[in-house]
């Protein structure tokens, strides 16, 4: 029976073919396009491993991200159906075994995609070591994502928590070189698998050694996830939810929409805490070594040498704003699709419902951007605050609308993959002046190009020379908002039964 359930769960996952496509595409793009930049970034932060070894790590990081997110959505999207299957005679243990088994197959696919991309990009000198360590990355994060899915009901909260742990694990791990050998970072999920992949003995793993400690992490995390899932899969008494009343047009929809998300305290804590953590971390891990940046002053482009810590701190603001506001747009729209259809059936106009949802997304963008700017101001003062702040807000709103556009097209899981990958490649890689003094040619066609040019101008020059960048950023925002309106109108339209 467990085998049949495993097959059924895989079919359930594959009902959206985009999920399987992204499961393979995300590791390939992450490793091939970002591997060199991440390896260079790790070297700048003090990483002692060679470039090839650091690039090998990207396969593990990609597999961990995909497996963690897939594990979370694999569990949280089927909680009630799993309880019904268990109640029908399958039993909680069999259901959990099938769920973890299907998740493991997905993790294997993600690992294979990451290693294939790695083989395309560079020579893998020690394939058994890379394969074993990548599988450990995937297994640990599959268990972690499943455990979070068993504990956290909110999809946006749980997915943010998984990504938050993954980011800290990546940037504070031994691969990045800064803070990787402190006592606190030794308890991060992939600390020892990273040392195994880099073939760098820790000296503090005890009699088990680094490999043994890594396998202990795999076994322990799977055991904890299994216990939590079995407990959560046992049938529970269903409660009847109360239906609110008193709806009134746009103002009422807006008020109830804010009430719904205001009650989600964890969401707002994450929207505040994650910018604080990410940006503070960027200043903590980055040295003050001078680095060249192309700026425009007095109408002329020129290279200036700036402290790397200031560059990283400045660019982390739009990266954080794009990622978090994009997720807010994704989950606000997808999570309220059925409710919005009912509102339209009750007499609301589509634009009235959309106004309420966009206001919530804008509030999330303003909050994230405001907190990010406040945290940045503690360590870095831009040359001109107005263009710097405006550019970050433009990035946040643009990616919030991209989230609105992406969610209905590819769903929650596929949308989270996309909303991680696109801002990472655009703002975090292509527009990141830490990696290159000027963005590559293809970056000019990305959504964040104009806004980041305004940001760099405001951060490091006192006169404003990026009128073209500002107009381009506004054009992107208007165009994506228009596309998002069309998608939302189609989504909110009542279905014909």
Residues 228 and 286 in one domain: no
Q: Which of 172, 202, 233 is the last residue of a domain?
A: 233
In a domain, 239, yes or no: no
In a domain, 320, yes or no: yes
Residues 16 and 85 in one domain: yes
Residue showing tokens 């506004």 = 474
Using DSSP's 3-state secondary structure scheme, residue 275 falls into helix
Instruction: Answer yes or no: is pLDDT of 450 > 90.
Output: yes
Q: Which of 171, 202, 233 is the last residue of a domain?
A: 233
Of residues 4 and 148, more confidently modeled = 148
Instruction: Answer yes or no: is pLDDT of 241 > 60.
Output: no
Residues 302 and 229 in one domain: no
In a domain, 67, yes or no: yes
**What's the mean pLDDT when you consider all of the chain?**
78
**For the ranges 42-56, 201-215, 254-268, 299-313, which has the lowest average pLDDT?**
254-268
pTM > 0.95: yes or no: no
Report the C-alpha gap between 288 and 10 in whole angstroms: 48
Residues 403 and 270 in one domain: yes
Where would I find the beta strands (DSSP E) of 152-195? Answer: none
Instruction: Answer yes or no: is pLDDT of 207 > 70.
Output: yes
In a domain, 241, yes or no: no
CB distance 105 to 11 below 8 Å: no
3-state helix, strand, coil in the chain (%, to 5): 75, 5, 20
In a domain, 90, yes or no: yes
Q: Which of 169, 203, 233 is the last residue of a domain?
A: 233
Residues 222 and 268 in one domain: no
Reading the block at residue 103, the tokens are 């998740």
Report the C-alpha gap between 425 and 26 in whole angstroms: 11
CB distance 224 to 236 below 8 Å: no
Average pLDDT over residues 241-246: 40
Q: What is the pLDDT of residues 74-133, one digit of tens each?
A: 787 676 666 776 676 666 777 777 777 777 887 788 778 878 877 777 777 778 888 888
Which residue range(s) make up the domain with 409? 249-492
CB distance 278 to 167 below 8 Å: yes
Note the pLDDT of residue 440: 80
Using DSSP's 3-state secondary structure scheme, residue 172 falls into coil
Residues 42 and 113 in one domain: yes
Residues 128 and 260 in one domain: no
Q: Of all residues in the chain, what percent carry a pLDDT higher than 90?
A: 14
The answer for residues whose C-beta is within 8 angstroms of residue 72's C-beta and 6 or more apart is 145, 146, 148, 149, 158, 159, 162
Note the pLDDT of residue 157: 78
What is the Cα 280 distance to its own chain's centre?
18
Q: Of the candidates 215, 210, 197, which has an alpha carbon nearest to the alpha carbon of residue 55?
A: 197
CB distance 141 to 67 below 8 Å: yes
Residues 225 and 293 in one domain: no
Instruction: Answer yes or no: is pLDDT of 476 > 90.
Output: yes
Average pLDDT over residues 139-161: 85
In a domain, 238, yes or no: no
**For the ranges 80-84, 195-199, 380-384, 437-441, which has the lowest average pLDDT?**
80-84
- The total of structural domains in the chain comes to 2
CA angle 111, 150, 22 (to 5 degrees): 30
**For the ranges 115-129, 204-218, 240-254, 408-422, which has the lowest average pLDDT?**
240-254
In a domain, 187, yes or no: yes
Using DSSP's 3-state secondary structure scheme, residue 316 falls into helix
Note the pLDDT of residue 229: 82
Using DSSP's 3-state secondary structure scheme, residue 141 falls into helix
Of residues 248 and 279, more confidently modeled = 279
Residues 197 and 271 in one domain: no
Q: What is the pLDDT of residues 307-364, one digit of tens each?
A: 888 888 888 889 888 988 888 888 887 776 666 677 777 777 777 777 777 888 888 8
Residues 401 and 343 in one domain: yes
Farthest-apart Cα atoms in the chain, separation: 75
Report the C-alpha gap between 322 and 211 in whole angstroms: 37
Report the C-alpha gap between 259 and 252 in whole angstroms: 10
Q: How confident is the model at residue 240 (pLDDT cuts 50, 70, 90)?
A: very low
Residues 228 and 281 in one domain: no
Q: What does the buried/exposed string (b/e) look like for 14-34 if buried means 16 or more CB atoms within 10 Å of the residue's CB? A: eeeebbbebbbbbbbbbbbbb
Q: Of all residues in the chain, what percent carry a pLDDT higher than 70?
A: 77
Note the pLDDT of residue 255: 55
Residues 481 and 431 in one domain: yes
In a domain, 139, yes or no: yes
């Amino acid at each position: 029976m467990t085998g049949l359930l495993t097959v059924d769960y895989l079919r359930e996952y594959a009902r959206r073919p985009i999920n399987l496509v992204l499961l393979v595409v995300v590791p390939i793009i992450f490793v091939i396009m970002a591997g060199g930049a991440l390896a260079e970034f790790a070297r700048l932060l003090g990483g002692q491993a060679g470039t090839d070894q650091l690039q090998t790590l990207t396969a593990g990081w990609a597999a961990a991200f995909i497996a963690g997110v897939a594990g979370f959505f694999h569990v949280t999207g089927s909680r009630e159906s799993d309880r019904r299957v268990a109640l029908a005679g399958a039993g909680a243990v069999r259901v959990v075994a099938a769920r973890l088994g299907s998740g493991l197959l997905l993790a294997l696919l993600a690992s294979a995609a990451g290693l294939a991309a790695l083989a395309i990009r560079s020579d893998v000198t020690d394939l058994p070591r890379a394969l074993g360590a990548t599988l450990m990355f995937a297994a640990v994060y599959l268990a972690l994502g499943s455990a979070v899915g068993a504990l956290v009901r909110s999809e946006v909260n749980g997915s943010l928590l998984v990504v938050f742990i993954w980011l800290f694990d990546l940037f504070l791990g031994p691969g990045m070189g800064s803070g990787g050998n402190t006592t606190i970072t030794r308890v991060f999920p992939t600390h020892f698998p990273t040392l195994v992949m880099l073939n760098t003995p820790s000296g503090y793993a005890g009699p088990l050694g680094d490999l043994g400690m890594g396998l202990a992490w795999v076994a322990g995390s799977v055991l904890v996830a299994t216990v939590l899932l079995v407990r959560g899969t046992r049938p529970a008494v269903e409660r009847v939810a109360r239906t609110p009343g008193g709806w009134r047009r746009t103002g009422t929809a807006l008020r109830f929409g804010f009430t719904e998300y205001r009650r989600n305290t964890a969401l707002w804590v994450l929207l505040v805490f994650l910018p604080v953590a990410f940006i503070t971390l960027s200043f903590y891990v980055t040295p003050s070594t001078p680095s060249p940046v192309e700026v425009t002053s007095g109408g002329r482009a020129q290279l200036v040498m700036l402290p790397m810590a200031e560059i990283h701190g400045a660019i982390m603001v739009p990266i954080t704003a794009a990622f978090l506001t994009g997720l807010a747009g994704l989950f606000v729209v997808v999570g309220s699709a059925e409710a919005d259809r009912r509102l339209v059936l009750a007499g609301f106009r589509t634009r009235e419902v959309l106004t309420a949802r966009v206001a919530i997304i804008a509030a999330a963008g303003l909050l994230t951007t405001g907190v990010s700017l406040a945290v940045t101001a503690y360590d870095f003062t831009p040359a001109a605050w107005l263009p710097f702040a405006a550019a970050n807000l433009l990035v946040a709103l643009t990616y919030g609308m991209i989230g609105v556009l992406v969610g209905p097209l590819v769903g929650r899981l596929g949308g989270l993959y996309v909303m991680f990958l696109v801002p990472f490649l655009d703002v975090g890689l292509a527009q990141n002046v830490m990696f290159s003094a000027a963005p590559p040619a293809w970056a000019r066609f990305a959504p964040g190009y104009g806004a980041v040019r305004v940001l760099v101008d405001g951060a490091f020059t006192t006169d404003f020379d990026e009128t073209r960048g500002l107009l381009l950023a506004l054009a992107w925002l208007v165009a994506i908002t228009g596309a998002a309106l069309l998608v939302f109108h189609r989504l909110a339209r009542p279905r014909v039964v």
